[in-house]
Amino acid sequence: MRWRREILPLTVGLFLGGALYALCVERNIILKNEVNLSDWLNIVVTLVVAYWIGNIVQKRQNESRVEKDLMIHTVKTLLDKTKHLEEIIVTIGKNTISEESQRNIVRQISELSISIVRIKEESEDYELFELIDVTYKELSVQFKAYKKAVTGGDFPDKYTEKKLKDIDKKLNAMRRSIRKLIVAINRV
């Protein structure tokens, strides 16, 4: 962490300072063939300005990382909610689906839906949406398929073994989409 916070800005600053030195001072020394106090002061000022520019660049990179971390945290809450929904469905198993279970499932699905919309809004706020749009659309499609598999538009009396396997398959596809979204956010 110290490397990112202290050494990288110093390195960038010194590199920029060297580039500015080559442009400003070196050209002047070659033309005059001498070095005086004003040249040394020019070198110092150039290095200070370059270090300052390096710090500004580093602060912007840190802000970008914080934005990404917040987005990733929001996306990871989706994984937690899918685990909770999976627990509810596994608990029901092949038993009759009660009205209370239906309400729990509907509540969890609506929370998933709200979280997915929140991800879209946050990514638009952080100007990341254009870069992760394809992955977000894939997640939306997987969510709709999962929702249809779980509820079927109207709840069945019981989940059959085939239906439970289909739900599990859709859930795994949605989780893959969530993980792809995390990777896409990290790559931005």
Q: Which structure tokens are listed for 1?
A: 């962490």
List Cβ<8 Å contacts ≥24 apart for 7-10.
8/54, 8/58, 9/51, 9/54, 9/55, 9/57, 9/58, 10/51, 10/54
Q: What is the pLDDT of residues 72-126, one digit of tens each?
A: 888 888 888 888 888 888 888 777 888 888 888 889 888 888 888 888 888 777 7
Contact 63, 125 (CB under 8 A): no
Residues 97 and 169 in one domain: yes
For residue 178, the domain's CATH number is 1.20.120
pLDDT tops 70 at residue 21: no
Half-sphere exposure of 31 (CA within 13 A, CB side): 8
Residues 7 and 83 in one domain: no
What pLDDT does 1 receive?
A: 47
Residues 73 and 158 in one domain: yes
Q: Which of 12, 31, 59 is the last residue of a domain?
A: 59
Q: Which of 12, 37, 59 is the last residue of a domain?
A: 59
Give alpha helix (H) positions in the chain.
2, 8-21, 27-32, 37-92, 99-125, 129-151, 161-187
Residues 55 and 84 in one domain: no
Residues 167 and 91 in one domain: yes
Residues 33 and 126 in one domain: no
Dihedral angle sign, alpha carbons of residues 155, 156, 157, 159: negative
Residues 132 and 182 in one domain: yes
Q: Closest by alpha carbon to 135, among 72, 41, 48, 47?
A: 72
- pTM to 2 decimals? 0.64
Residues 96 and 180 in one domain: yes
Q: Which of 18, 42, 59 is the last residue of a domain?
A: 59
The number of domains in the chain is 2
Residues 30 and 82 in one domain: no
Q: What is the pLDDT of residues 156-176, one digit of tens each?
A: 777 788 888 888 899 899 889
Half-sphere exposure of 83 (CA within 13 A, CB side): 5
Residues 12 and 95 in one domain: no
Q: pLDDT band at 52, cuts 50/70/90?
A: confident
Residues 108 and 20 in one domain: no
Q: What is the domain extent for residue 141? A: 65-187
Residues 124 and 35 in one domain: no
